[in-house]
Structure 1
Amino acid sequence: MVGIVLFFLIVAAVNRNRIYFIRGKIQYGRGNLDEAIKLIRKAVNSGRASIEATASYGFLLFKTGHLEEAEEVLVKAVQKSGTADQRNYAKSNLALVLWKKGNIDEALAMLKEVISEYKTTAVYGSLGYIAIEKGDLDYAMKINLEAYDYNPDDPIILDNLAHLYHLTGDFEKASELFEKLIEKNPRFPEAYYDYGSYLEDTGKYEKAFEMYGRALSCPFYFNSTITKDQVSERRDKVKSLIKTT
């Protein structure tokens, strides 16, 4: 009888933790990061959380700037992973922490390893961006084209490839992809900032000014690759160019 009661208590605890995780994901989808962290932390602190919940908690810590704690959580998630998919999911988030800490080579190597056996839109987005930042444009083009083939509708993948075409001077393809991207009304500032940079380089200052303004209306997080100050400076620059043309 005691064993049966204990069994049901364990099942109830597991289900409760699952509910915390699901509620946390819902709050994250709504942009309520603080509430998402509180809920997912409850699931993780129970000791019975899934690897998905633990790695997601690590990512949220990373996104809110708690690098050391995020790294600790994600390293444990990698170590406790029972399957290759679990391990790769945790590593794909750990790589972002390494990148933000300035270890871009290690982050890039880890994501290359992950993508070889765990292809997801999120991993392609992270790898595509970090490859561009690393400056190996040949590899960056290869992986971003592969990412686009995998998911041609994802805003981050679209932004990466459009930005890369801009960097490599293929303005026609850049324009096509940026227009497709903006139609999706992305919720991250880099999309509008990158398009604004392209428009600025092509002399379309008023449109660039508009895009920089839209970038500033987006939420900025610790993992954002640009700052509000950067965007404001570019917007002020094109504003002065508009006045002189």
Structure 2
Amino acid sequence: MPPIVKNLLKIAAVVIVVVLLFKLHWALGTGVVVVSIGVFVFLNRSALYAQRGNMAYMKGDQAKALELLEKANGFKRVVPQHRIGYGFLLMKAGKPEEAERVFQEIQRLSPPREILMQARINLSTAYWLQGRHSESLALMEEVMGEYKNTLAYGNLGYFKVLNGDLEEALVLNQEAYEFNDNDVTILDNLAQNYYLLGRVEEAADMYAKVMDKSPKHAESYYFYALTLQKLGRLEEAREQSEKAISRDLALVTPLTRADLERLEEQLKQADPDHESRDEGPLAGESSIDRG
């Protein structure tokens, strides 16, 4: 019998019992309902904490999300997906060693294959953040050998680009594009790959597709700005550089805020009208209003 059918039968049985008890006496029915709710809450405390954590993360409160998912992870009945979410937030908080332990523990629990692969993909990111690049790449190669999906293509393709294996990365990223030409990470990997190989026209075409998806992180706009700069499209490059400055860097990145600021300043200096635009009455005062 399918699990969903079993669960529906259990719910139906509980409803029948409650209805019969209410017919006998309202207090009996009320008591059973109260106790059932209490038992449900007690048994599902980890899920409730995890749900609150996910809501906090969606609101941008990463510290609160981590706190709540840490509590969820402390219960024995926590589901593997919530453990993965906890490990991800640990990496975002700059704690890849702790995240590694979480992902290793998930593997020891022998979860379903899809969850196991998600844990291993995240583990490869934890390795990368610790500077263990060869281990990260080796693990992703193992994953790709038995489980090809969009997330795996995206991670391995990006790591190969960051590792400087550009020709090898290109083969993989083109394969990934054939697998899913609608995923922003795959598009971004291929665009950056083309740029780093000096194939700027192809990079520009691919970045145009990336921009259609409004990427979240600064790296996309930064490398698109560099591409446009190479093509002599300086006004467009300045626009993309400004967008890069206004966005956060990704979890795994080759850039710093200083890189973004340096490009912005370089493109400003390349603007023949830059000096005249900075000579307005408030030009000397605007720089202090950055906090």
Q: Normalization by structure 1: what TM-score?
A: 0.87
**Structure 1 consecutive aligned stretches of length 4 or more whose deviation exceeds 4 Å:** 6-11
Q: In structure 1, how many angstroms separate the alpha carbons of the residues matched to 2:156 and 2:54?
A: 23
Partner of 2:260: 231
Q: Does 1:240 pair with 2:269?
A: yes
Cα distance, 1:197 vs structure 2: 1.2
Q: Distance in 2 between matches of 1:209 and 1:79?
A: 49
Whether 1:189 and 2:218 are equivalent positions in the alignment is yes
- Residues 161-195 of structure 1, C-alpha deviations (whole Å, 9 max, x = no match): 11111222333321221111112211111110110
Equivalent runs, 1:94-133 vs 2, <5 Å? 94-133=123-162
| Residue number among 21, 24, 27 corresponding to 2:53 in the alignment | 24
Residues 28 and 143 of structure 1: is their aligned pair in 2 closer, same or farther, counting only changes over 3 Å? farther
Residue aligning to 2:13: none
> Which residue in the other structure is 1:69 paired with?
98
Structure 1 residues 185 and 114 mapped into 2: Cα distance closer, same or farther (>3 Å)? same
Among 185, 197, 205, which residue is 1:156 paired with?
Answer: 185
SS of 1:153's partner is coil
Deviation (angstroms), 1:14: 4.1
Structure-2-length-normalised TM-score: 0.75
Q: Indicate how the Cα distance of structure 1 residues 57 and 143 shifts in structure 2: closer, same or farther if over 3 A, else same.
A: same
Matched length: 241
**For the structure 1 residues 106 and 10, does the alpha-carbon distance in structure 2 shift closer, same or farther, using more than 3 Å as the test?**
farther
What SS class does the counterpart of residue 116 from structure 1 fall into? Answer: helix
* 1:137/1:223 CA distance change after superposition, 3 Å: closer
CA shift, 1:52, in A, is 1.6
Q: 1:65–1:222: 8 Å Cα contact kept in structure 2?
A: no
Q: Bigger CA drift: 229-238 or 119-128?
A: 119-128
Q: Identify if the C-alpha distance between structure 1 residues 43 and 98 changes in structure 2 by more than 3 Å, giving closer, same or farther.
A: same
Contact 1:205 1:239 in 2 (8 A): no
CA shift at 1:196, angstroms? 0.9
2:117 and 2:43 mapped to 1: Cα distance? Answer: 23
Instruction: Tell me the alpha carbon deviations over residues 178-229 of structure 1, each in whole angstroms, 9 at most, x when there is no partner.
Output: 1111122111111101101111211222221221111111123553442111
Query: Pairwise CA RMSD of aligned residues?
Result: 2.5
- How much identity, in percent, do the aligned residues show? 34
Select the structure of larger CA radius of gyration: 2
